[in-house]
Structure 1
């Protein structure tokens, strides 16, 4: 993993960007760009939203903490998808 950037917004929101490689014992690998938004609550830091993007096929996946997910190709007209 290579951390590209981190940030904070006030005292309760933080996030960052990284290049990450996921893999398994059989040699499969996926290189992705990861972004996270974290929020501090009474239980500690929690992931509020994360997004993965694979540059190879231009796919993007965005997920929210409540389980909603959206996926789209980067070249899809009309901008980013609605989260369902």
Structure 2
């Protein structure tokens, strides 16, 4: 038995422009797939919005951690430390 993944249509131009303006790149990236799944499964609009905002928050957290690690030089210090 094969499960079909819903087709992810592109975001409408107005929605894409608003997400760019609000600087929400992770929502822009995830939205087409999440919208297709939400439509095919009959999600409540609030659930769809929750999923998109949770994705944005999680990706921002990951990006912040990567940025702080690079800024601290911690990875470079650990990589160059002698191994015993």
Instruction: Tell whether the structures are fold-level matches, with TM greater than 0.5.
Output: no
Normalised by the size of structure 1, how large is the TM-score?
Answer: 0.27
Normalised by the size of structure 2, how large is the TM-score?
Answer: 0.27
Higher relative contact order (CA 8 A, sep 6+): 2
